[in-house]
Amino acid sequence: MAKLQQPKFVYIGGKLRSWEEAVLHVGCEAATRGLSVFEGLRGYWQPDGNFSIVMLRQHYDRLCRSARILHIPFAMDFEEYKAVIDELIAALIQPGIAMWSRTTLFVTEGHWGEDTVADLVVTAYNIGDETPAPINLGVSTWRRSPDVSLPARVKSGTNYQVGRLARIEGRAQGCQDMVLLNDAGRVAEGTGSCLVMVRNGIIYTPPASEGALESITVDIVEALAGSVGIDFVRRPIDRTELLIADEIALCGTLADITIAKTIERHPLEQPAPILSRIASAYLKACKGIEPHPFVELVPLPSCVQRQAERKKAGAKS
């Protein structure tokens, strides 16, 4: 198992600090109640020399929505949010290496929803940029919680406890990820991703009201499918449909589009004809190799500047 990287800097308390200094107090609601909302972002070096974050505006908007639902104040506007990410990533970036960044609003002050104060903490890690290998997918006995308890629409830290249990369960079965069903026993999503399935040439995914996060990657899949004339439908998916699906994949900013090679030990056709095509178009769009109008790439100005400074310094020495 890969150890979590410990990058040199973290953005916390309004500035960059060392990894060791990036700590929260044991008394805060982020620690006592697991109160936090977050976004995971992906950034790639682009053919034009920029380092760009995929769909940054959409991630910012979802962070605002999660914070709003949980009554966590978040006053930063989009440009400020972008500037913070730019500052941290520029301090950590390496030539040619993609990054994954976690932007988390930790509740640092307040009690039972009174006088709530949150701090935006940003971490960033190096990440590979190759197509993910197909996985064995299982169906967990653990369920996604309903909208009236821990809403799946909120990207909160606590929502991942059930995903963690599902992965522990899956590991014992040789599965790299697990499907979470909702309260009604229909498909909700993966542990850190949404699910898409192909039957008879049509891509299906459960709507958010089935217990899935409002996924930015799924929206991209819909747009990419539309561009090549493949129908895309959001509707409930029964558990048994997974077993007779032609293709299945998990979709998410971190998961990319990860094809399932088995579902509950039933083999699925490899390579998955439709979803492999979409997965390849997805990565090419994110990396700017074959841009797609729906896939917004937001350049981080300091990263490019930092790179140029390093080159200059290297040329001098």
Task: Enumerate binding residues for ligand PMP (CB under 6 A).
Answer: 40, 189, 192-194, 213, 215-218, 251-253
Pick the closer one to ligand PMP by CB: 109 or 183: 183
Residue 185 CB, nearest distance to ligand PMP (Å)? 18
Among the listed residues 190, 194, 195, the one whose alpha carbon sits nearest the alpha carbon of residue 162: 190
Pick the closer one to ligand PMP by CB: 194 or 283: 194
Residue 104 CB, nearest distance to ligand PMP (Å)? 12
Residue 67 CB, nearest distance to ligand PMP (Å)? 15
Pairing of strands 232-234, 202-205: parallel
Among the listed residues 271, 265, 216, 224, the one whose alpha carbon sits nearest the alpha carbon of residue 249: 271
Nearest residue to ligand PMP, scored by beta-carbon proximity: 217
Residue 282 CB, nearest distance to ligand PMP (Å)? 11
Pick the closer one to ligand PMP by CB: 40 or 291: 40
Residue 120 CB, nearest distance to ligand PMP (Å)? 17
Residue 250 CB, nearest distance to ligand PMP (Å)? 8
Pick the closer one to ligand PMP by CB: 211 or 288: 211
Residue 23 CB, nearest distance to ligand PMP (Å)? 24
Pick the closer one to ligand PMP by CB: 29 or 189: 189
Pick the closer one to ligand PMP by CB: 178 or 251: 251
> Residues near 263 by Cβ (< 8 Å), separated by ≥ 6?
137, 138, 139, 242, 243, 245, 248
Residue 251 CB, nearest distance to ligand PMP (Å)? 6
Pick the closer one to ligand PMP by CB: 195 or 300: 195
Does residue 209 contact residue 235 with C-beta atoms inside 8 Å? Answer: no
Pick the closer one to ligand PMP by CB: 7 or 157: 157
